[in-house]
Structure 1
Amino acid sequence: MEYSVIAEEFRNHQLENVHQGVICIVNENKEVIYQKGDISQPIFYRSAMKPIQAIPVFTTDIIDRYNLTDEEAALFMASQRGEKYHEEALIRVKEKLGVAEDHLVCASSYPLNDAPKMEYILAKKPKRRLLHNCAGKHLGFLGYTKVKGLSEEGYERLDHPLQQEILHYLSELSEVPIDEIKSGTDGCGVPVHAVPLKNMALSYLKFVTPELIRDQAAREAVIHIGDIMNAHPDIIASHDFICSVLLKDKNIIAKGGAQGVYCLALRKEKISIALKVLSGTELIWPLLVAEILKKLNYENEETIQGLLQLKPQTIKNDDGIVVGETKIYL
């Protein structure tokens, strides 16, 4: 892999941190219009794969059958962070689907965000599987097995029909043959896959150019998934988070993953972007994506400013005094 520098952080003009990464941007013709680093290197999607993992769920009638709201269905693509609105929606979905919480293979967790986590700890509430930040995805998986009449047992295994269907759709969207897709186990216990970064960008391109998807059921599912993500951005992660800022812009479909992976695509421009910060940090995502959008002459200035409010170029100390800056290199 070619290790290109994408960002440096300075404190009092002294270099403090260096971030290397890989970036790929493709257009509607599947042409690479910008790259930095080795875009042929396989990269694990981590949670950026959730919109793709949700495709089998959205090819069923699960929403109508269980009277799910769009807000509740958004949890199937979410890396929820444990806010009250997340917990309440997760409980509703669990009850509507009629699944047992202990059937989720993800680990018991506290909320990810500081305020709800502190509230849970002070109230001496125990960790629970439903608060794992992938719990919504797992509820979708279990709901899928119920609709399809499949066994819940082993839904997390690669040889389960659900996981094989996900692999099929990933291959179609990313244009990587199944036998060339690298597989591993994600933090929540289910399979996660790696494809070259260029192909990761291609897979997200299909969310804004669904006409490129041959399978009609998948095409309709992808459109539905994108609409729901845009309609309920705070469910996908939480308020004041990069996914929420981007998804509030109806022109953008976006989702991040652990260890520095981020994907987004622009509907009007029919452009898709995939990136990986090799240190695994998420901290520079907002500034990095803002600079990429500027480079593309993106017309929605409100979206760019929203990202910069999350992560300004200036570095401030605890008293709000400017003590340094972050430089992005594209």
Structure 2
Amino acid sequence: MSTAAVPLVEVWRGSLLESVHCGHVAISDARGEVVEAWGDPDATIFPRSSAKMIQALPLVASGAAARAGLSDAQLALSCGSHQGAPVHVDAVSRWLAALGLREEALRCGPEASRDKALRLQMIRDQEAPTQLHNNCSGKHAGFLTLARHLEAGPEYVDPDHPVQRACLEAFETVTDRTSPGFGIDGCSAPNWATPLAALARAMAVFATAHTRDDVLSQAAARLTRAMQAHPVEVAGEGRACTLMMRAARERLSLKTGAEGVFAAILPDRGLGIALKIADGATRASECAIAAILVRLGVLDAAHPDVARFLNAELTNRRGLAVGDVRPVTGLAASASQSLKSSRA
């Protein structure tokens, strides 16, 4: 098996191959067996936001979510990288208010809304972005909920804080690996590194969680269901995660991460997927995950909300079609018989 990143996505302009995005993919079952891979499944990566459902595990498993009366929509928001649309900002604001907290309690930092209409309106109104607009504010509201439950201090993003220690314990449990270390994410929380195959294994643990009755599995099953039921809270209108979850032929929880990472939970197959684009390009990670899910039969290549990522049209400033972003030949082809037989 190759240890180098392999071509996954091509960028064509006219009849010429202009650029190539390389990367790694691992598809795993809950035992940690890699059933199909491209590149190096043992490549160590930062999962970035693709691990948010893992970071939310202690929120549910500890009883903090039940104590706070959190809804499934709020749990989906805790797993999400939202676009800072009014629906997201209002939801996080209400969540904090229910905790008796204000925006200042967050430690994620301010970020301009990724919702174009709101961002432009805020510019016109000369309104500065707040931490509520940060795409990670739902995760951080979950951290604050857990911190209150644990009667811990306000600096919940400190790696030695009880909240983050609980997140690390959950992370190493579902990946079945000791993390080699962490980096600080864009939202200031520690992000623990792990091999790509271990992240895929963690997603498969979520995919099979509904078959087990231990506390952590019950938490994983609830978070998986919450993401499936509330795709807008996971990302937002027009976003890849939301659109592909809606378009899926079967149950699918899908989560992007910065720097070209994607993770997918397939409960009907008992499989997890983890993907990393070596150069960190989002256009490539969206195309590659769409191709893998088409390969498995989870998505229909002809669905318009799949085709827009699977074969993304490139247009110039006059609106003329000048090329496309597409998976390498064969990536979206039907899976092998051995992979098909791994359905749970």
Paired residue secondary structure (1:145): helix
Q: Secondary structure at the match of 1:283?
A: helix
Secondary structure of the 2:173 match is helix
Per-residue deviation, 1:290: 2.4
Distance apart, 1:120 and its partner CA: 1.2
Number of the residue aligned with 1:12: 14
1:11-30 superposed matches below 5 A? 11-30=13-32
* Residue of structure 1 equivalent to 2:166: 165
Q: Residue 125 of structure 1 aligns to a residue in which SS?
A: coil
Counterpart of 2:235 in structure 1 is: 237
Q: Cα 1:69–1:26, aligned 2, differ >3 Å: closer, same or farther? A: closer
The answer to whether the 8 Å contact 2:287/2:326 transfers is: no
Provide the residue aligned with 1:184 in structure 2.
Answer: 183
With the length of structure 1 as denominator, give the TM-score of the two structures.
0.91
TM-score scaled by length of structure 2:
0.88
Asked whether the equivalents of residues 290 and 304 of structure 1 are also in contact (C-alpha less than 8 Å), the reply is no
Report the secondary structure of 2:138's partner residue: helix
Q: Is 1:267 aligned to residue 267 of structure 2? A: yes
CA separation in 1, counterparts of 2:224 and 2:77? Answer: 13
Cα offset, 1:190, TM superposition:
0.8
Aligned to 1:105: 107
* Partner of residue 308, structure 1: 307
Per-residue CA deviations over 1:94-133 (Å, capped at 9, x if unaligned) read 1011123212111112212322111111111122111111
Could you tell me how far 1:253 is from its partner in structure 2?
Answer: 1.4
1:299 deviates by: 5.2
1:9 Cα deviation (Å)? 0.7
Q: CA RMSD in A?
A: 2.1
Contact 1:242-1:285 at 8 Å conserved across structures: no
- What letter corresponds to residue 16 of structure 2 in structure 1? Q
Q: Give the match for residue 96 of structure 1.
A: 98
Matching residue of 1:328: 327
Which of 213, 220, 223 is 2:221 aligned to?
223
Q: Is the 8 A contact 1:243 1:254 kept in 2?
A: yes
Q: Does 1:128 align with 2:130?
A: yes
Aligned to 2:276: 276
**1: distance between equivalents of 2:272 and 2:49?**
17
Counterpart Cα distance in 2 of 1:311 and 1:319: 23
- Specify whether residues 232 and 128 from structure 1 end up closer, same or farther in structure 2 by C-alpha distance, changes over 3 A only: same
Report the residue type matching 1:204 in the other structure: M
The CA distance in 1 between the partners of 2:299 and 2:8, in whole Å, is 23
SS in structure 2 at match of 1:25: strand
Q: Following the alignment from structure 2 to structure 1, what is the Cα–Cα distance between the partners of residues 269 and 138? A: 31
**In 2, Cα distance between equivalents of 1:128 and 1:47:** 20
Unaligned segments of structure 2, at least 5 residues: 332-344
The separation in 1 between residues aligned to 2:82 and 2:35, in whole angstroms, is: 33
- Shift in alpha-carbon separation, 1:24–1:304, aligned structure 2, 3 A: farther
C-alpha displacement at 1:191, in angstroms? 0.5
Q: SS where residue 263 of structure 2 aligns?
A: strand
Q: Supply the distance in 1 between the matched residues of 2:231 and 2:172 (Cα, whole angstroms).
A: 27
Measured after TM superposition, the shift of residue 257 of structure 1 is 0.5
Could you tell me how far 1:303 is from its partner in structure 2? 8.8
Q: Evaluate the alpha carbon distance shift between residue 234 and residue 67 of structure 1 in structure 2; reply closer, same or farther with a 3 A threshold.
A: same
Identity, % of aligned pairs?
28
Deviation of residue 181 (structure 1)?
Answer: 3.2
- Letter of the aligned partner of 1:189 in structure 2? S
TM-fit CA distance, 1:155: 1.3
User: CA 1:327–1:126 in 2, change beyond 3 Å: closer, same or farther?
Assistant: closer
SS in 1 for 2:12: strand
